[in-house]
Structure 1
């Protein structure tokens, strides 16, 4: 396997950050007390 070009890794960085943020947001919602 050849090393991943920096260009490809950089293009996938936003998606990775979005997935992490979505997971943290989901856990935060689950941890919040139910409103209403």
Structure 2
């Protein structure tokens, strides 16, 4: 896990799990957007 997600996943209760999933989704969106922009012809 990237450092910010590792820190967020330590939040108490279910918050850590939820924020970790949201952060992973944000990273995925950024990566896919970057791939789409750079590979578009």
Larger radius of gyration between Structure 1 and Structure 2: 1
TM (norm. structure 2) is 0.59
Structure 2 residue 39 is matched with structure 1 residue 32: yes
What's the CA shift string for 1:1-36, capped at 9, x where partnerless?
Answer: xxx3153111211111110000000000011041xx
Give the distance between the partners of 2:26 and 2:19, measured in 1 at CA.
11
Query: Matched residues in 2 for 1:11 and 1:30: separation?
Result: 29
Return the structure number with greater relative CO, CA threshold 8 A, min gap 6.
Answer: 2
